[in-house]
Amino acid sequence: MLRAAAVLFDLDGTLVDSAPDLAGAANEMRSAQGLEPLPYERLRPMVGSGARGMLGAALGVAPGDAGFEALRDEFLDRYERRLTRETALFANVEALLRRIEAEPLRWGIVTNKALRFAEPLVAALALARRASVLIGGDSTPHTKPHPEPLLEAARRLGVDPARCVYVGDDPRDMRAGRAAGMATVAAAWGYLGAEEPIEHWGADLVIEEPAALLHWLDLA
């Protein structure tokens, strides 16, 4: 149980299920190259790794490979065109946010997603006016797992990082949160990646569904 001053969330895989559109963009690229689409279940775990992860899973290319940058740009352009086609809040996230807002407790978003994508996505999902802060992957010189994006969010909120909670679905989220001096919560409904099991991430709390966060914050 924690009495927090602010709750910060990762975006993709934590608040928002963007995997269908990201996987769709990856399969569009496969189709353009005459390849069969990959099963959604194979692409979903790589969403947290962004374009790098999606291109690795879909086309077997990695940073440093010939043509990677052009493929990355194509992927991002395709994704931008279908940014909100199938993307939606995860189940019960809306209820979680409404309860936090009723406290009232401020909440915000810290994502590695560039603001080019994060801002229109958050706006389309009617979160822009509700979130007290939005930090994107290009808002500071560093991205997670560096703590600077989280520290910048705390600065903009005027809140001590020690009184912030950070909720995410990737080991990098937990490393960033710990380095920023924040309490960390791992969202087990997220994409989770292909790294170590969630129990090994060092989170202060692992939750299976959003309402569990309310119990920990003593808001249930």
* Total residue count of the chain as it appears in this document: 220
Amino acid 219: pLDDT: 86
Write the class of the CATH domain 6-17+87-216.
alpha beta
pLDDT of residue 1: 53
> Which residues, in sequence order, are CB contacts of 64 under 8 Å at separation 6+?
none
Domain definitions of the chain by residue range: 6-17+87-216, 19-81
CB contact at 8 A, 90 and 168 = no
Q: What pLDDT score does 49 carry?
A: 85
Give the C-alpha separation, 207 to 199, whole Å: 11
pLDDT at 205: 97
Model pLDDT, residue 16: 97
* pLDDT attached to residue 194: 63
CA proximity to 9, closest of 90, 102, 107: 107
The C-alpha atoms of residue 107 and residue 96 are separated, in whole angstroms, by: 11
Q: pLDDT tens digits, the chain, 220 residues: what are they?
A: 567 999 999 999 999 999 999 999 999 999 999 999 999 999 998 888 889 999 999 999 999 999 999 999 999 999 999 999 999 999 999 999 999 999 999 999 999 999 999 999 999 999 999 999 999 999 999 999 999 999 999 999 999 999 999 999 999 999 999 999 999 999 999 998 767 899 999 999 999 999 999 999 988 7
Task: Read off the amino acid at residue 87.
Answer: T
d(CA 25, CA 79): 5
Name the E strands within 143-204: 164-168, 183-187
Give catalytic residue positions. 10, 12
Q: State the distance between the two ends of the chain, measured CA to CA, in whole angstroms.
A: 11
> Which sign does the torsion angle of CA 120, 121, 125, 130 carry?
negative
State which amino acid sits at residue 146: H
Interatomic CA distance for residues 29 and 125, integer angstroms: 26
State the pTM of this model: 0.95
